[in-house]
Structure 1
């Protein structure tokens, strides 16, 4: 778990630095940083999809995942509950920034493969690399949305900690195919988040989060037969 702890600490430190930058930034600079983050999110999302789609053994699974996950997320109305919760503690557009932060921090090859590598091979290279990148990202995010971005550190700890624990319990069941399918769906969600930041199209990204569970279950079931 040392790699995950490092990752969490880097997000908190980056958010602290971004907090002080946030106070001195004029609105036009916050706007351009938000637009920059939107472009980054879109590129990261597209890259994840493009890199992993050719490796997919189940090319329509991401469609099924988004459909099923979207319906479940809409029934639970995750986006509304999340917005209301964040709104109790702060105003402005922190909810949107926090949702983007959680997706950027959690849904990526390094964040998924890192805990698996740590659990199976005691290799923390991916997590240390991911932590450094997240630290830099948190500076930019917090300079735009404020210190509330640090809340995402908790999500990262739970996410990576859960993957680490599952990898320890299911060492023989985790495979590259599962990671590939999960990363494709995750890339699409990050892309959707970027569209929202750029004000191209507001998408209830959090209502689509259950889509991330579908590829894991589907691959386990399909490979069982």
Structure 2
């Protein structure tokens, strides 16, 4: 079953989020310190991913083009509206912002990364779900911690994660017909680096060091493929 690993990943996020709901009443000072710890760990994860690049120009051009597109079409506002719409179905008006923050933050943390892409590709190409199952266990623990501080908006990130990974897994069943293995490996490397920088931005937001509109940088995850193609073609 192509989507087995994706569904396991989603189930782990749900279980972790549900368990985390039982710890949302802890004192604010505990939540603040825990959030700072999460932020530092997220920055570290992002740095490890970002340093994987073999062509900084591809990463830079991807981020610049992604930022322009994201600001032009207002991706961040759209994500906030989606999170608030979901929140309005389950929360009071005063809780909508927290709901959106939990949904967006968790979706980006769980969705952006090498394990999501490589795991989904393995599921689609080889029918090997080990990477996604391992990621699911990790995501479950992260979801638990995030839910204690960001609330139950985290649990709704499962929809974006399953849609994202599931789409990649289904498309991967035909990927051998579209690109060579060498190109695919190089593309994943640069995509991982761009994703790592976005995760660093998430960490900085969690630490309240600055407010980066990460949503408006998300198109970089698409433009990196186009830019890498032309980079390989001409450089």
Give the TM-score of the pair, scaled to structure 2. Answer: 0.88
Equivalent position to 1:70, from 63, 67, 71:
67
Larger displacement relative to structure 2 (65-74 or 90-99): 90-99
* Count, aligned residues: 220
Match of 1:143 among 124, 148, 152: 148
**Correspondence for 2:125:** 120
* 1:166 alignment counterpart: 171
Secondary structure of the structure 2 residue equivalent to 1:25: coil
Listed one character per residue, the Cα deviations across residues 12-54 of structure 1 (whole Å, up to 9, x for unaligned) are 11110111111x211111111211111111011001012x12x
- Identify unmatched segments of 5+ residues in structure 1: none
Report the equivalent of 1:59. Answer: 56
Mapped partners of 2:233, 2:172: distance in 1: 18
In structure 2, C-alpha distance between the alignment counterparts of 1:210 and 1:79, rounded to whole Å: 11
Partner Cα distance (1:20, 1:171) in 2? 45
- Structure 2 unmatched ranges of 5 or more: 88-94
Cα pair 1:115 1:161 within 8 Å, conserved: yes
Residue aligning to 1:191: 200
1:216 to 208, 225, 234: 225
* 1:181 maps onto 2:193 in alignment: no
Q: Deviations over 1:45-77 (max 9, x none)?
A: 001012x12xx2x33011110111101110111
Could you say which residue in structure 2 is the equivalent of 1:45? 46
Hey, what does 1:19 align to over in structure 2? Answer: 21
Give 1:109's aligned residue.
Answer: 114
* Residue aligning to 2:92: none
Match of 1:156 among 155, 161, 164: 161
- Relative to 1, partners in 2 of residues 1:95 and 1:31: Cα closer, same or farther, differing over 3 Å? same
SS class of match (1:122): coil
Asked whether the equivalents of residues 123 and 169 of structure 2 are also in contact (C-alpha less than 8 Å), the reply is: yes
Three-state SS of the structure 2 residue aligned to 1:93 is: helix
The verdict on how the C-alpha distance between 1:126 and 1:157 changes in structure 2, with shifts beyond 3 A counting, is same
2:124 and 2:97 map into 1 onto residues whose CA distance is 39
Whole-angstrom distance in 1 between the partners of 2:10 and 2:102: 17
